[in-house]
Structure 1
Amino acid sequence: MSVLVFEGFLSTPEMLKVLAQASIVQAMMDFEAALAKAQGRVGVIPASAAQAIASLCRAELYDINALVAASARDGSLAIPVVRRLAETVALFDPVAAGFVHWGATSQDVIDTSQILLTRRALQLIEDDLLQLLSLLLDLADAQPVTPVLARTLLQAAQVSSLRFRVASWALPLLRAAQALRQAADAALQLQLGGAVGTLSALGEQGDAVSAALAAELRLPLPEMPWHSQRDRMVRLCAELGVLCGSLGKLARDISLLSQPEIAELAEPDGESPSRPRSVSSAMPHKRNPVYSMLALAAGQRAPQRVAALLGSMMQEFERGLGGWQAELAETVSLLMHTHGSVRAMVTALSGLKIYPERMRLNVEAQQGLVFAEGLTMLLAGPLGRLEAQHLVEGLCAQVLEGEEGGAPAQGQGQGLAAAARALVQRDERLRDKVRAAELEAVFDVERVAAQADQRVAKALAQAREGLTALQDAPHW
């Protein structure tokens, strides 16, 4: 049973294509072709040799499976790839074959090819991430003053707004998109150092070859080779891990809010091949949140990947043993899972069903208890905080006792609001100091939701500006 069945399930066809064996080998061939062209341009190797080498750097000319199989014996995929390339060049130009991979080392090939593939992978991730952000901000714009039951520790707490909740989903994703660009700017750089990083085989022409190769591959030229300096790549991957965590939070909330006991949201139905029906095979009444499930499954693997990458940083001397190889595998997995998570949430948000009426009913079902803090603050004026808190705790207990007994206590037929009105009328300390309008405002659902909206109005406006800036500045 291939583990890729389950790995691929948590990714996307586009990402799997970028990270496929043939794609990896072609990226390595791209490095070798660019190296030959750069060296030919600066006169390190004959121009005819550079042309001969570059013309044969096409993955479709080689047996990919055989190369991958040989990598297990050689300890690196670069070794059989370079060997087979040189053998093929020798069939047409024996002299040129001697200049294949001139002055480079296997880690140069693999690190740079990984950078090229990571650049493509990050483009896929960002494209979907920006689409997801747009969907979330559009949702916030479309749902003004929509009350929701805010929950803390999985318990009903107070009234908030849907717009406030959406902002809490969107802002971490925007920060992740911005942080990925910053981390990528630092990490996606050329690797060319030769055997120990000094490029000694190229002598005085090392700098010229490096600059020409960087230009050929459209990669920044680092201050020095980074064979065992893995901090920038690991920091980039750590940002992917943070993104997976934020996506998992979004998926967790949507899946919980989709439970029939809550029923405030629902993932899209399967009205197209790209949106399969999310019903149980044995229980057709169920609507399983499959997109949230995919995002959660992908996100739950991210912590282990990031931890393994941190552990792989302790590499020995100029080039490490084991740590670098572990990093390569973990990075590929993290890219796969991140894109799978983002894509799943884009699909979920694209057809997300919103039920404001159910949101309102869930608030009303709390019998006004979620306004207890606001009531305490109102009564604290004439009574002081401790006395007000004591009285409100007693009122809440009465309401809860009425619910548990199946019949409301006297004066408690409409929950905490009715109990508070009765208290104000019978307590002479409150009767003349708490105005009816003030008391009603405490239990005004729309007023509280509007306040929540206002709290995030500026943040959402800035998020829209941040998204627009990312969209207007193509990066990869």
Structure 2
Amino acid sequence: MSAFIFEGFLSTPEVLEVFSEAAVVQAMMDFEAALAQAQADEGLMPAGCAQAIAGVCKADLYDVPALIAESGRAGSLAIPLVKKLTDTVALFDKPAAGYVHWGSTSQDVIDTAMVLVTRRALQLIDRDLTRLNADLLRLARAHAHSPVLARTLMQPAQVVTLGYKLVGWVAPLLRRQARLREAAPRALRLQLGGAVGTLSAMGPKGPAVARRMAEALQLPWSPLAWHTQRDEWVALGSEVGVLCGSLGKMARDLSLMAQGEIAELAEPAGGGRGGSSAMPHKRNPVSSMVALAAATRAPQRVAALLASMPQEHERGLGNWQAELAEWAGLFISAHGAVKALADAAQGLGVDEARMRTNIEALQGLVSAEAVSMLLASTMGKAAAHALMESLTRQALASGRHLRDVTLDAITRDAALAGLHDRLAPLFDIDRAAEPAARIALDQLETLDAEARRLQASPLPS
């Protein structure tokens, strides 16, 4: 059984197509066509030869699986591709065949092809990240005042609001989107250096050819080849890995809040989504599942990219090839995660009544810290903390509300009697949620502005 089946299951048809064999080969052909045209424009080959080369730079003219099979023996996909391209050009224009791939090297064509397909993958990620962020911001504003349990170390802690939690999800996603926008133009550059990066085969015309190619492919170019200087490229991959981690954080919280015993949130259902082969009642959080799978796999892929960076001299042996093998999978997983969570956020179910019920079921224990601080104003922090520990144990053992247990204790202690009227408001759920609501609303202004800024300047095509 092919691993591709399970890769596709965790991703999207769009990004799988971006990194498909045919798409990568076509990107390599685009490089060769642009190279020939740029060299013709600089007088390094007749215009007719460039036209002959460009005319057959179409992946669908070639047996792509055969090229890939040959690449294993050749040590590079570029070698059989250039040979087959040369043979094909020769069928129509023998002199033109002598100019195919002239002055370039295998890594030039492969790196640039990966830049071209990665640019398309980033556009998909950016598009769906914009959609996800917009829906999270919408939900955060709608539920800025909706009380929900905050949980620490997997246990109930205090009362916050759902808007506060959603702000905590969307803020890192907006930061990641901005960082990807910053990293992309530094990493997505034309690779054209020839054998050792000096463009020596093209003589003084080399830089002009590179500039023309960069313009044709809509890529920046720098005179220093990055054959073994992989810092900006790996930095982009690392940003994608951090994005997967941020998406995984959201997915972890969402899946926990969607558990049947909690039931505060629910992913969209219907149309066979999230069903079970054995249990008809189940509503599995499949979007969270996809994002968590991406977050699980991304660290290993990013680690492989980092490990591949110490490349030998002017051309790496094994490490560049390892980088290539990991690269596509990182982006394939990332888009699967972004798209899945964007779909979930669009139809996310929020049960405010259940959120309140879950708070009330804790018998007021989530107010223990606030009550302890009130008691400390009279009896000191240490004594108040010890008393509240005792009172919470009594509430749990008796099944009574902590408010009532505390009122009994205050009534019995003349020194605390003056606190009686100040106690009840501390158990008001909506009041307890106010600090979180204030933070959420304050942050929403900033996050909305950042989202608008990013929407106004999408990644270039």
TM category, shorter: over 0.9
Within 5 Å, which residues of 2 pair with 1:415-434?
Answer: 415-432=401-418, 434=419
Within 5 Å, which residues of 2 pair with 1:258-337?
Answer: 258-271=258-271, 276-337=272-333
For residue 474 of structure 1, report the CA deviation from its aligned partner.
2.1
Q: Is the 8 A contact 2:29 2:58 kept in 1?
A: yes
Q: Is the 8 A contact 2:86 2:97 kept in 1?
A: yes
Structure 2 SS opposite 1:280: coil
Kindly provide the CA deviation profile for residues 315-370 of structure 1, in whole angstroms up to 9, marking residues without a partner as x: 11100001101111111000100001111111211211111101001000111111
- Structure 2: which amino acid aligns with 1:346? A
- Structure 1: which amino acid aligns with 2:433? A
For residue 16 of structure 1, report the CA deviation from its aligned partner.
0.8
Per the alignment, residue 183 of structure 1 pairs with: 183
For residue 292 of structure 1, report the CA deviation from its aligned partner.
1.1
1:352 to 2:348 alignment: yes
1:383 to 2:379 alignment: yes
Per the alignment, residue 89 of structure 1 pairs with: 89
For residue 231 of structure 1, report the CA deviation from its aligned partner.
1.0
- Structure 2: which amino acid aligns with 1:260? G
For residue 427 of structure 1, report the CA deviation from its aligned partner.
1.7
After TM superposition, the score normalised by the length of structure 2 is: 0.98
Q: Is the 8 A contact 2:207 2:223 kept in 1?
A: no
Cα distance between partner residues in 2 of 1:55 and 1:191? 23
After TM superposition, the score normalised by the length of structure 1 is: 0.95
Could you tell me the percent identity over the aligned residues?
56
For residue 387 of structure 1, report the CA deviation from its aligned partner.
1.4
**Mean CA deviation greater in 172-181 or 376-385:** 376-385
Cα distance between partner residues in 1 of 2:204 and 2:277? 69
Q: Runs of 4+ in structure 1 displaced over 3 angstroms?
A: none
Q: Is the 8 A contact 2:298 2:330 kept in 1?
A: yes
**Mean CA deviation greater in 191-200 or 291-300:** 291-300
Q: Is the 8 A contact 2:144 2:440 kept in 1?
A: no
Cα distance between partner residues in 1 of 2:275 and 2:329? 29
Structure 1 SS opposite 2:221: coil
Please tell me the root mean square deviation across aligned C-alpha atoms, in Å: 1.1
Cα distance between partner residues in 2 of 1:440 and 1:44? 87
For residue 277 of structure 1, report the CA deviation from its aligned partner.
2.9
For residue 55 of structure 1, report the CA deviation from its aligned partner.
1.3
Cα distance between partner residues in 2 of 1:288 and 1:213? 49
Structure 2 SS opposite 1:303: helix
Cα distance between partner residues in 2 of 1:280 and 1:10? 17
Per the alignment, residue 448 of structure 2 pairs with: 464
Kindly provide the CA deviation profile for residues 93-152 of structure 1, in whole angstroms up to 9, marking residues without a partner as x: 111111111100000000001000000000001101110001100111111311111110
Cα distance between partner residues in 2 of 1:279 and 1:16? 25
Per the alignment, residue 158 of structure 2 pairs with: 158
Cα distance between partner residues in 2 of 1:286 and 1:11? 23
Cα distance between partner residues in 2 of 1:31 and 1:459? 45
Cα distance between partner residues in 2 of 1:110 and 1:100? 15
Cα distance between partner residues in 2 of 1:194 and 1:474? 33
Kindly provide the CA deviation profile for residues 248-286 of structure 1, in whole angstroms up to 9, marking residues without a partner as x: 111111111111111111111114xxxx33221211122
Q: Is the 8 A contact 2:145 2:433 kept in 1?
A: yes
Structure 2 SS opposite 1:158: strand
**Mean CA deviation greater in 43-52 or 185-194:** 43-52
Per the alignment, residue 407 of structure 1 pairs with: none
For residue 435 of structure 1, report the CA deviation from its aligned partner.
5.4
For residue 223 of structure 1, report the CA deviation from its aligned partner.
4.2
For residue 456 of structure 1, report the CA deviation from its aligned partner.
2.4
Structure 2 SS opposite 1:156: strand
Cα distance between partner residues in 2 of 1:41 and 1:97? 17
1:473 to 2:435 alignment: no
Cα distance between partner residues in 2 of 1:375 and 1:222? 64
Per the alignment, residue 249 of structure 2 pairs with: 249
Kindly provide the CA deviation profile for residues 63-83 of structure 1, in whole angstroms up to 9, marking residues without a partner as x: 111111111111111111111
For residue 222 of structure 1, report the CA deviation from its aligned partner.
2.0
- Structure 1: which amino acid aligns with 2:386? H
Q: Is the 8 A contact 2:144 2:164 kept in 1?
A: no
Cα distance between partner residues in 1 of 2:402 and 2:51? 83
Structure 2 SS opposite 1:159: strand
For residue 296 of structure 1, report the CA deviation from its aligned partner.
1.1
Aligned residues: 460
- Structure 2: which amino acid aligns with 1:119? R
Per the alignment, residue 36 of structure 2 pairs with: 36
For residue 204 of structure 1, report the CA deviation from its aligned partner.
1.0
Cα distance between partner residues in 2 of 1:451 and 1:6? 44
Per the alignment, residue 392 of structure 2 pairs with: 396
Per the alignment, residue 200 of structure 1 pairs with: 200
Per the alignment, residue 410 of structure 1 pairs with: none
Cα distance between partner residues in 1 of 2:457 and 2:286? 33
For residue 28 of structure 1, report the CA deviation from its aligned partner.
0.3
Structure 2 SS opposite 1:219: coil
Cα distance between partner residues in 2 of 1:318 and 1:389? 66
- Structure 2: which amino acid aligns with 1:97? A
Cα distance between partner residues in 1 of 2:106 and 2:333? 27
Cα distance between partner residues in 1 of 2:382 and 2:119? 59
Structure 2 SS opposite 1:401: helix
Q: Is the 8 A contact 2:148 2:359 kept in 1?
A: yes
Query: Where does structure 2 lack aligned partners over 5 or more consecutive residues?
Result: none
